[in-house]
Each structure stands twice: as C-alpha cells, then as structure tokens.
C-alpha cells in the first residue's frame, strides 16, 4: 500500500528543507526525498565550503601584512590539502546537523531519487508515495560548455572533493563562481588564468564596481583574459592544455564555471503534466506550477538563484498553504555578494539599470574611492569603492554598492534602509561611526 502524505518535497536543499520543516511545524504530515546528501548545494558544495576556502586563502595577505603591524613571523606556506580536508569535515558536521533538524521537525527522509508516476505519485527506488501536494526543490547543476574535451575539466561541485591543488589552473567563466575560485586559488598559491568571453567580469553587477574587482584581481597576479573563449581541452588529468582562438595554455586542471541549469533530469515531469519553460519550471507568485497542487522553489525555477531566496520561497509556501498566513516573496529587492578578493556586495539598482529606468538626467551617483585604514601601514591592497545611486526627483537611494573588506556585512544593513525607501537625505542625517569604511555611505557630499 502506498504511504500517503500531506506534502512530499523533492530535494533536501535550502528551499526544500525550509518548506518541509515549516509545513511540518503547522501540523502537516511531510516527507522529503533526496538522492544525495541532505543540505543541498549551499551546505554541501556551494556557499558554505566556498566561504571557508575564502577565509583560508585570505591568510596569505593577513600573514604578509603582519610585519607592518609589528608581528615578526617565521616562514610560512599554504597547505591546501589540509584546508580542503578541514572544509570537508565541517561539511560532514553540517550534514549531520541537518539530518537531526529533519528528525526533530518530524519530517520523514526518503533516501533515493524521486520521479513522478503521475500528478500525485512519486516513485523512489521502486516504492510509491502519494501526497495531496508536491513541492519540487531539486536545485540546479553546473553545466559544461559544448567544446571538445569538456569532460576533462572540473565543475564547481568537484573542486571541494580535491585532495590537492595543481600548480597552474585555467578557469573558464566570468560570473561569481569563476571569480571567487580565481581569488581562492590565487590566494592558495596556484597560478590562475581566467578566460572571460565578454569585455569584463561579473556581467549584471554595477559595471564600475565590477571593474574595481577586476583591476584588483589582475593586480594580485591573476592572468585575466577578456574576450577569450576556449575552443577545446586536450591531454590527460593533471597535464591538460586549454586551446583558445589564439593560444594554448598548459595547466594542471581546468575549472569550467560557465553557468548552472535546473536539475530536471529524471523527474519525469511530463507524467504529472508540469510545464517546463525552456530549462526551468515556471511558477506564479505563490510558487505554484501550472498544476495547482504542485509547487516549485529555488534554483529549479531559475529566478534569483540564491540560498536566502530559496529559503524564503519555501517558508512562504508553507505559511500560505499550511499556516493560514498567506504571503509572497519580494524578488524585487535582494542583496547579493561576490566573495571575491576584494569582496563586492550590492542591493538595488546598478547605475546602468537606474539610468535605463530614470534616464541619465534623472539619476545622480555618489561615490567614495579610497585606501582603507586597514591598509595604511602595509601600504598595499586595492581601493575600496562605496557608491550610492540616487533618483533625483524623489531623492530615494535606488542602489547601494560596495567593494572592499566586509562589504556583504555592510550591505546587509543598507538593504534594510533601501527597502524602507530611504533617501539620500536620510543617509546624510545618519551620524557616522568613525573610523570605519562604511561611514563613507553617510558622509558623501550632496
């Protein structure tokens, strides 16, 4: 006999876990299906292990700057193998925590890959489960470019499984994953060449802010080549060559950071009648697909592919359907960060987006660019950039952008102000906290 649930969730990533646990807290009988480890991309092979690697790679500069602050150190060198092992151990710990959270929430974990038999039946390893509602939260997967030898390269998921790092690596891509790994690997002593198809990195972010990051990466020794694409990869693992239109680049490894795509393979969505729009599952503002009792959240919907967004979508679904507290997620104002070195964080409109909306005459940009005090004694490092994009007619701050240390921490607070409709005058009336980098946001001359 089939086991029946109020809610079946496909995928134990950030969105699925959030939806399952909150739905169960409202009294729903919930099961979650996962063929991989519980925790999803963020915990297992994304945000968490990546940020730990960022911290580890940053010690090159911390140790290098120590002498200027009076600390006499002996010789030092990175040991990436130790760092990678410690990161994997922390991921293992978090995976166990999430298993415990599910059990405490009363959510049944069904281990295996689920697929639709029909609109209300999911099959996992030969077992059939039915539900009144089904939520799809299976996330996305990295995609390899369509070039010869692409299977010889790594995708981002595989970087966390490495036991050691090569002396030289080629990174293909210009998005946040490519740039973050370029900085991480460079900080750990790897010679990095990054191939960028377009004119600059981080397309879609504020252009000026992205260029500040790009210039800093190049100053740190990353060989960043714009308007260059790979034509193929040859060789064998550990001894590869990346071919471009004009060059051949020998290396010990290749990271293909050329985008991600919703993980729809094997779901058998057609059996349930769920419509697919391109490569993604389309949903309305309540996370509902074209089938009224089937929902989707997170990267599988390919809207804003960020962990906090997936979590809020999952919780909003549960609040609406089971909690009698209907609400919708605001996708219009989402803070974002790139954990490059230097860090970039942003909320609201870029300068380019603001001009497109309001016209060049309707926007005023305020900026401060300077060497942070933390670099006054070492006398090195990139300049920090703080930038406000303001609508002239209303005085409202449309966008807030920062490049520099702790940018994400600062922008998180700025997001509250912008979400409340803060104006440039509101920023100006705020007393500065001195000496700090973030005080520049409230002292920019009007």
- Looking at the annotation, which residues are catalytic? 434
Between β-strands 239-244 and 230-236, what pairing exists: parallel, antiparallel or unpaired? antiparallel
Residue whose structure tokens are 């994997």: 88
d(CA 33, CA 117): 15
Output b/e per residue, 218-250; b: 16+ Cβ within 10 A: eebebbbbeebebeebeeeeeebbbbbeeeebe
Residue whose structure tokens are 């942003």: 346
d(CA 412, CA 404): 14
d(CA 202, CA 403): 13
d(CA 82, CA 92): 15
Q: What is the dihedral of CA 190, 191, 195, 198, to 10 degrees?
A: 90
Residue 168: exposed, middle, or buried by beta-carbon count in 10 A (0-12, 13-18, 19+)? Answer: middle
Alpha carbon distance, N-terminus to C-terminus of the chain? 71
**What single-letter DSSP state applies at residue 438?**
G
**Cα torsion angle, 10, 12, 16, 19, sign:** positive
Three-state SS for 397-427 is EEEEEEECCCHHHHHHHHHHHHHCCCEHHHH
Planar angle of CA 227, 232, 238, nearest 5 degrees: 110
Cis peptide before 220 (omega within 30 of 0): no
d(CA 239, CA 103): 46
Q: Report helix, strand or coil for 387.
A: strand
d(CA 160, CA 162): 6
């Amino acid at each position: 006999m089939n086991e029946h649930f109020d809610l079946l969730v496909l995928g134990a990533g950030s969105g699925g876990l959030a939806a399952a646990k909150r739905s169960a807290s409202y009294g729903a009988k919930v099961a979650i299906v996962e063929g991989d480890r519980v925790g999803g991309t963020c915990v297992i092979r994304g945000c968490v292990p990546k940020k730990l690697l960022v911290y580890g790679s940053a010690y090159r500069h911390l140790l290098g700057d120590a002498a200027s602050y009076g600390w006499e150190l002996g010789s030092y060198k990175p040991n990436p193998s130790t760092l990678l092992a410690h990161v994997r151990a922390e991921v293992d710990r978090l995976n166990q925590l999430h298993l415990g959270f599910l059990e405490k929430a009363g959510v049944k974990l069904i281990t295996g890959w689920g697929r639709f038999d029909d609109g209300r039946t999911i099959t996992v390893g030969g077992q059939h489960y039915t539900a009144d509602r089904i939520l799809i939260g299976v996330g996305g997967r990295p995609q390899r470019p369509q070039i010869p030898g692409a299977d010889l390269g790594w995708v981002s998921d595989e970087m966390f499984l490495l036991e050691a790092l090569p002396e030289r690596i080629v990174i293909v891509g210009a998005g946040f994953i490519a740039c973050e790994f370029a900085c991480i690997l460079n900080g750990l002593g790897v010679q990095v060449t990054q191939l960028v198809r377009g004119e600059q990195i981080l397309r879609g972010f504020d252009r000026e802010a992205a260029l500040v990051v790009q210039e800093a990466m190049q100053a740190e020794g990353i060989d960043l080549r714009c308007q260059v694409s790979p034509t193929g990869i040859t060789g064998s693992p550990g001894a590869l060559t990346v071919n471009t239109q004009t060059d051949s680049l020998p290396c010990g490894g290749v990271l293909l950071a050329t985008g991600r795509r919703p993980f729809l393979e094997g779901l058998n969505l057609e059996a349930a009648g769920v419509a697919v729009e391109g490569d993604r599952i389309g949903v309305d503002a309540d996370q509902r697909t074209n089938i009224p009792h089937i929902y989707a959240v997170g990267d599988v919907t390919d809207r804003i592919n960020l962990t906090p967004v997936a979590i809020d979508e999952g919780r909003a679904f549960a609040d609406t359907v089971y909690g009698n507290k209907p609400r919708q997620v605001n996708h219009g104002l989402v803070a974002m960060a790139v954990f490059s070195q230097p860090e970039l964080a942003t909320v609201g409109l870029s300068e380019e987006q603001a001009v497109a909306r309001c016209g060049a005459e309707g926007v005023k940009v305020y900026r401060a660019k300077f060497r942070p005090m933390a670099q006054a004694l070492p006398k090195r490092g990139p300049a920090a950039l703080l930038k406000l994009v303001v609508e002239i007619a209303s005085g409202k701050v449309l966008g807030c952008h920062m490049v520099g240390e702790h940018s994400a921490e600062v922008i998180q607070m700025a997001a509250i102000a912008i979400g409340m409709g803060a104006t440039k005058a509101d920023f100006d009336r705020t007393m500065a906290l001195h000496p700090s980098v973030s005080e520049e946001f409230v002292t920019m001359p009007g």
